[in-house]
Amino acid sequence: MNVSLRTKIMIVIAGVVIMSSIAMMIFVRTTVSEKLFSKLQQRGLSIAIHLAESSVNAILTEKFYALEMMLKEHRSREADIEYIYILDNRGVVLAHTFEMGFPVDLKSVNIIGAGLAYSTQSLKMGGEDVLDIAVPILKGETGVVHLGISKSHILKDVNEIIMFMNLIIFAVMACGLVAAIVFSGRITRPVSELTKAVKEFGSGNLDRRVRISSNDEIGQLSDSFNNMASELENRTAELERINSELTILHVVSTAATSTMDLDEFYAAVLDIFVEGFLGGSS
């Protein structure tokens, strides 16, 4: 299967554009997601640390009702906070914001290891993606604050950014494909013309020349071809002239050996020169 040079160039350029676009899409999605989730975690961690510091006095004085009111107040202020709860150092729930009662399976979520300032874990709560952040209270001696912050807003922002980037990438791909068509045409057109000229020249059309005006390698190749064609045409004309002269000399020598009469010889030679030069020029 023969594939033209233009097709090959278009395939290569289109492949590079498509692969670059896909790589850019993956890079943007990964980078944006990591950046936004990092900000979400920092914000949630900041709130959880503030709650851990603010709850010390209420825990030590066993004012658990006031503690629960404080948690609910914080949750009402932040639309993306799904829940807040506090466990003591024995795992007993001291306060929480769940309206339907505390989910027992959350007690084992995010057990903070010794020496850790906080820990995080992704959860699924009622179809909602939640980032659970746990912060120790007084280094864990008093208890642990758990804050669940929704990822839905972040995912929505990521999807909107990705959609916008997809539009840009598709536009870049379209421009790249158009550029591939134009660029391949500019390369292959002079090459095709040069190839056609070489074929015609090889078939005997010594007047054939290539009209390509450019300073690149193709233009230099075209100039070389034109110079070679001119030189070969001149050499061919020179060989024809030499061949004509040799033919005349051969005929003259044949006439000289075939007659001994000078008048006949001169007449024969005159006819030869008239036919050779005047006939050749006509």
Instruction: Write out pLDDT tens, residues 187-210.
Output: 777 777 777 777 777 777 777 777
Say if CB 252 and CB 265 are below 8 A apart.
no
User: By mean pLDDT, which of 50-64, 84-98, 222-236, 246-260 is the weakest?
Assistant: 246-260
- The answer to whether residue 260 scores a pLDDT higher than 60 is no
Instruction: Write out pLDDT tens, residues 13-44.
Output: 777 777 877 887 788 778 877 888 888 889 99
Give CATH superfamily name and number for 5-159.
PAS domain (3.30.450.20)
The pTM of the full predicted model, rounded to 2 decimals, is 0.55
Q: Which of 242, 241, 240, 251 is nearest to 273 (CA)?
A: 251
Question: Cα(124)–Cα(147) distance, rounded to whole angstroms?
Answer: 14
Instruction: Write out pLDDT tens, residues 171-192.
Output: 877 887 787 777 777 777 777 7
- The answer to whether residue 266 scores a pLDDT higher than 70 is no
User: By mean pLDDT, which of 30-39, 84-93, 220-229, 262-271 is the weakest?
Assistant: 262-271
Dig out the tokens for 33 from the structure: 């997601």
How much is the pLDDT for 278? 55
Q: Where are the domains of the chain?
A: 5-159, 217-281
Instruction: Write out pLDDT tens, residues 76-117.
Output: 888 889 899 999 888 889 999 998 888 888 877 777 766 788
Run of H or E residues at 152: helix 152-202
Instruction: Write out pLDDT tens, residues 121-159.
Output: 888 877 788 899 999 998 878 889 999 998 887 777 777
- The answer to whether residue 275 scores a pLDDT higher than 80 is no
Q: Which of 93, 154, 98 is nearest to 122 (CA)?
A: 154
How much is the pLDDT for 70? 92
